[in-house]
Amino acid sequence: MKKITMIKMQGCPYCAKAAQAVEELRAEQPAYAGVEIEIIDENEQPELAKAYAKDYYYVPSLFIEGHKVYEAQPGQDYDTIKAAVADAFEQAR
């Protein structure tokens, strides 16, 4: 399995939706429990986020092996975010 890296920011409503989606998807699909997710907070861990900075603008952004697989866009609803997180899980399996 491949590791998912999620770039997030404290207080971001889209990031909260992505975190909720991770928990729901893991409850729905036990196989997802084995997928490692590294969470990098852009404000608390700027040195780690810097490695991805050229590849995203909005958070949350999801990467697998350094390649961006999702970047949230303003106005996205929960279902859209959950579908993107599910897709990342599938790519990481």
> For the segment 16-59, what is each residue's pLDDT rounded down to a tens digit?
999 999 999 999 999 999 999 999 999 999 999 999 999 999 99
> For the segment 52-69, what is each residue's pLDDT rounded down to a tens digit?
999 999 999 999 999 999
| Domain interval for residue 55 | 4-92
Given this model, what pLDDT does residue 91 score?
A: 97
Residue 85 pLDDT grade (very low, low, confident, very high; cuts 50, 70, 90): very high
CATH number of the CATH domain containing 47: 3.40.30.10
Given this model, what pLDDT does residue 36 score?
A: 97
d(CA 7, CA 3): 13
d(CA 93, CA 60): 20
d(CA 37, CA 29): 15
Asked if 9 contacts 43 with a C-beta cutoff of 8 angstroms, the reply is yes
Given this model, what pLDDT does residue 72 score?
A: 98
Start-to-end CA distance of the chain, whole Å, equals 5
- For the chain, the domain total comes to 1
Backbone angles phi, psi at 66, to 5 degrees: 85, -5
Asked if 88 contacts 18 with a C-beta cutoff of 8 angstroms, the reply is no
Given this model, what pLDDT does residue 53 score?
A: 95
Given this model, what pLDDT does residue 81 score?
A: 98
